[in-house]
Amino acid sequence: MKITIVGAGSSYSPELLEKLGEMREELPVTKISLMDVDRERLNTVGGFCERYAKHLNLPIQFETTTELSKALPGSDFVVAQIRVGGNAARINDEKIPLSFGLVGQETTGAGGFMKALRTIPAMLEIAHAVEKYCPNAWIVNYTNPTGIVAEAVNKYSKAKIAGLCAGGLNPRNWTALGLDIKADNIRYDMVGLNHLSYGYNITIGGKKLTDEQFRAVATYRGEKDAELCVKLGALPSPYLQYYYHNAKRVKELGEKKLSRGEEVLLVEKEVYQDFANPNCDTKPESLAKRGGGGYSDIALGFISAVYNDKDSWIVVNVPNRGTISWLPDDAVIETACVVNASGAKPINMSPAPMAIRGLIAAVKSYEKLTVEAAVSGNMDLAEMALLAHPLVGDWDIVKQMLPKLIDANKQWLTKF
């Protein structure tokens, strides 16, 4: 069994090895190909992965390469975790919108829009290479914005892709911790898009939460939003803070000395220094400061479900295909699925609360326009995408801000 990691120079790569150590019986991985365009990072992470695998007693053969044509042949699964432009580009995504009084965030709003424009062409290149070199492989995608990426790959390639995000487990984790119970039998309906999803109709062993239990879970999720959750009848993704507390979040972001991207750059400097230490063969403490962990559980859970043809309940970004009647069939949604060797099939859900439908539909319109803008390089479509986004929605700002965003990203936007 061979897994290829594209974007293997990421600080997240070792987390996959840690989980593989726990799942060695059900996932007999013999080879991992580490591919990245940054040779220095690739060598640093590759060296650490070899030492870490040895520490975990994992008999895995590693190879490192900067070329997809060498990494992909023979792959059963391709884990994608690229960041086009690195955190330097992310900092522009955060700061330029903020200078116009808008949320500056890497996957939401105008910043997320620019990340999508940079990322979609690169991910389509990877998808077409998968078609050529390992057409039966699944792309297990953690590249953000994962929902928009999955929509682009589904529309413009024949590659199989599962868009994953650790956030899909939030309602389960909140329920388990809020009620002090085990998570195994917790299920829920999940409606929405990546970083714009809601968990509702939560059950434990098939029994729906009582009103009192739901309030306890909502309080655990965040006391200040407990009343809002109860009124919505759902648990929103943490990214909904940028919509439901917009003015407050913009003010807080503007008052921070460093953007999140600048903070990550400082943390990663320490992480990669630790990775480069030839005596380091376990996950360094600095890695805990990076944040965003937990994705290996879902990634390898998906891989195991497909590889072992084992029906598994997993939240995945997949084409709608009638699951949500008020969204287009080809729209990629984030929802609970049954995953097995045939792929991910959405589970029928109870009707979504009316109060959340309009926002989901509006952001999906933005996402569809963004995919077309990224593929075509059409400035009119780019303008309409930003205008459609509820966190932008101001034509005067769009006309002033978009040229600045494009100019800051021109080296990665060859189609524009």
- 263 three-class SS: helix
- Whole-angstrom CA distances from 401 to 102, 364, 382, 387 are 10, 22, 11, 11
Q: Do 405 and 96 contact (CB within 8 A), yes or no?
A: yes
Give, rounded to a whole angstrom, the gap between the first and last alpha carbons of the chain: 40
- The Cα 332–Cα 157 span in angstroms is 14
12 part of the active site = no
Q: Do 302 and 160 contact (CB within 8 A), yes or no?
A: no
- The Cα 37–Cα 66 span in angstroms is 5
- The residue annotated as part of the active site, out of 133, 142, 198, 239, is 239
Closest by CA to 5, choosing from 46, 44, 48, is: 46
User: Torsion angle of alpha carbons 94, 97, 101, 106, nearest 10°?
Assistant: -40
Q: Which two tokens stand for residue 5?
A: 């990691």
Which residues 6+ apart lie within 8 Å of 6 measured at CB?
35, 36, 68, 71, 78, 79, 80, 81, 82, 126
Beta strands in 205-352 (DSSP E): 207-208, 235-236, 312-319, 332-340, 343-346
**Hey, which residues are catalytic here?**
239
